[in-house]
Structure 1
Amino acid sequence: MTTTMLAGRLNLRTRAFAVERVPVPDPGPGQVRIKVMAAGICLSDVHLIEGSLNPLFNPSEKVTLGHEVSGVIDAIGPGVPPVWKTGQRVLLQAGERCGVCPGCVRGAACLQVRTRGVDYDGGWAEYALATHYTLVPIPDDLPFEQAAIIPDAVSTPWAAIVATGQARPAYPAGVWGVGGLGAHAVQLLRAIGAAPIIAIDPLEPARTRALEFGADLALDAMAPDVRERIKAITGGRMLDVAFDMAGVAPVREQALRCLGPGGRLVLVGLTPAPLTIGDSIGFSYRQQKLLGHYGSEPEHVEQLVNLARGHRLDFARSISGLVPLADAADGVERLRQKHGNPIRLILKP
């Protein structure tokens, strides 16, 4: 086996990104080494490179990007349970517990989750290390490209829908931004029976995609009658829950105006910009809620794999193109510029 490999590395000080040749890592105690078969390019990766998103817990100067990863177990370190074997097809959870916070010490939810490809080296590489408890087995008939995007691209909107936002069957839901997260949000809202589903995006190709993925109505965010159209299709009820998948401040203010009594706005897209609640008295009187959301729990990824295993969900339409790992910078630029209106571009080592 070769001793070096290609890896897409970001200098966290200068924000210079390059595909470099680095040593192939050896798995330590509790770790396995994955031969990467597919890795998604996420808008969060673009934000990291641009500098608008910063690691919270990474003391290193450089990090290998990539938190959406699937592959095959290539080598097993000491202390890994025997349930894991070389050759197994797996995807990797997008992060892991810190192991030292009060939540981890008590066996509860981690309060300082480390994100793969942000706080430690990820999967934009020919090989990647993973702690064994972040592995999720995948069925033989689930393509690696589709499996790779389940952590984050699919699991983040799924967790926002079923956990944070608690969307309900037969209740109206709105999705602002029909990119990588928003397209899946529409598909998943359809799967749980939300109705009607309204998608809002300024780009016509994104609105067309929303209708193809199951939206009942797709509106231009720049149109002056967005609120009136939502009021009409919901019979005056307005939205039970709204999801900001874009991370744009004006989007959030527009979504707030479209909530009904008890309505919830879930902030999924990331932005450092402040949020203004224009009618704060009305917001309180109608007992509406503003909810932050980040990522997903391991159980959400496992749920989605089970749904894919049972052929209840199909992510084939989400794969917008394949990019050689060596050309990762070109893939990032394609996503940044929205060339071809991609949902997910996939790096192939």
Structure 2
Amino acid sequence: MRVKAALAREIGKLTIEEVELDPPKADEVLVRMRAAGVCHSDLHTYRGELRAVPPLVLGHEGAGTVEAVGENVTRVQPGDRVLINWLPACETCPTCLSGRHNLCERLPGTTFRALLLDGTSRLRTLDGLTLKHYLSVATMAEYAVIHEDSAIPIPGDVPFEVAAIIGCAVATGVGAVLNTAQARAGRPAAVIGAGGVGLSAIQGCQLVGCHPIIAVDLMESKLAFARRMGATHTVNASETDAVDALRDLTGGGPEYVFDSVGSAVTISQALGSARPGGTAVIIGLHATQIEVPISPGELVLRNKRLLGSFVGSIRPRVDLPMLVELYRAGRLQLDDMITKRYPLDDLPQAFHDMEAGTIARGVLVFGDER
């Protein structure tokens, strides 16, 4: 079938065009997309700054309706409303059995190479060029073929656009607080970077009862979003030294510092500002290879922890439904995080707005249904 999709034919070249999508094979599902989140990872990927390289169809956050299923599919059926999970953990490898589903051993050879789980593709251009599926899902298209493990059923009262951002931004930010840091109530926390992931981390800190919750960013517009999401204090790092400000606001440094940017500067800020015995959690991935100077004294003499958090250390089939239920219970402000909606053709504008800091989270919408 022919579908409109956001396509990176080569590094730095983004087009919206029709492509051919083959039917689902065994264990696969065809999803009619209703919403797809706009994330920095997609932007970095089409620019060639992350591991997956073009030609590929972009998108890894999404939600929609199951249209058809291949042989052996048992978890969903046509008509089901689903959230797209781009971490289809096998749940049987030694890593999964240890509880680290986000590090499943089948993902490096498939998902991180932008292939489906059988190592192939269902996408090609109209002139016959095989296309990859970004992170095994390729959600920035009218339809997507995914493995059934990537389809998480959602209730009828959850908007597709909300479900879409739960699959990555919300899971990454909230999961870093709940799972990776295992933050405790009453402890001071800071979040560096107030994009979609950072705003989710702020809400995670609010969930567990951290206080104060301090947001750090270079843009006043994004700090305003952070205050709406639960930050009790904000620091504009373009105007003041972030490390000094965090120490002053907390009387020695936050117990937990979450870096949603992942640059050399912000990683140093996170570790440097954490109080003795505190924890710096690196959530963001600015680029796959950067050098960060670290003083061993920060770790040893001050007994600090420096942790990485990949997609919030989540167990997708457990944690994604939990996040959906937290939203339904009114404990996550996800409607307010989505500040602009775009048709697929306006993806370049969505990327521009995201970089300019004028939106908290943008979402592509397909059709009129929610």
The alignment's TM-score, normalised by the length of structure 2, stands at 0.84
Native 8 Å contact 1:64 1:120 kept in 2: no
Structure 2 match to 1:111 = 105
Q: Does 2:249 align with 1:242?
A: no
Whether the aligned pair in 2 keeps the contact of 1:240 and 1:262 (CA below 8 Å) is yes
Offset of residue 255 of structure 1: 2.2
Paired residue for 1:95? Answer: 87
Counterpart position of 1:191: 207
**Distance apart, 1:249 and its partner CA:** 1.6
- Consecutive aligned runs of 4 or more in structure 1 exceeding 6 Å deviation: 98-101, 104-108
* Count of residue pairs brought into register by the alignment: 337
1:296-343 deviations in whole A, cap 9, x for unaligned? 4203222201212333223111112111112323322332333xx212
**Structure-2 residue corresponding to 1:268:** 283
Deviations 1:273-315 (A, max 9, x none): 21112x4324311111111122142032222012123332231
Q: CA deviation at 1:228?
A: 4.2
Map 1:192-207 → 2, pairs under 5 A: 192-207=208-223
Q: Which amino acid aligns with 1:308?
A: Y
- Tell me, which stretches of 5 or more residues in structure 2 are unaligned? 115-132
Residue 74 of structure 1: aligned partner: 67
Q: Quick one: structure 1 residues 250 and 105, their matched pair in 2 at CA, closer, same or farther if it must change by over 3 Å?
A: closer
Aligned counterparts of 1:47 and 1:222: Cα–Cα separation in 2: 23
Q: Check the 8 A contact 1:63/1:121 in 2, yes or no.
A: no
With normalisation by structure 1, the TM-score equals: 0.89
**Equivalence for 1:9:** 7
User: Is the CA contact 1:25–1:128 (under 8 Å) kept in the aligned structure 2?
Assistant: no
- 1:64–1:226 distance in 2 versus 1, CA, 3 Å: closer
2:31 to 18, 30, 34: 34
Contact residue 29 and residue 78 of structure 1 kept, 8 A? yes
- Larger mean CA deviation between 225-234 and 156-165 belongs to 225-234
Question: 1:239 aligns to what SS in structure 2?
Answer: coil
1:46 aligns with 2:55: no
Moved more, 143-152 or 133-142: 133-142
Q: Secondary structure at the match of 1:96?
A: coil
Tell me if structure 2 keeps the 8 A contact 1:9–1:65.
yes
Correspondence for 2:120: none
Pair 1:159 & 2:180 matched = no
Distance 1:125 1:282, change over 3 A: closer
Alpha-carbon distance change, 218 to 112 in structure 1, aligned in 2, over 3 angstroms: farther
- How far has the Cα of 1:257 moved from its partner? 1.9
Secondary structure (helix, strand or coil) at the match of 2:364 reads strand
Verify the 8 A CA contact 2:257 2:281 in the aligned structure 1: yes
**Alpha-carbon distance in 2 for matches of 1:303, 1:135:** 15
What is the aligned-residue RMSD (CA, Å)?
A: 2.4
1:258 aligns with 2:273: yes
Matched-pair identity in %:
33
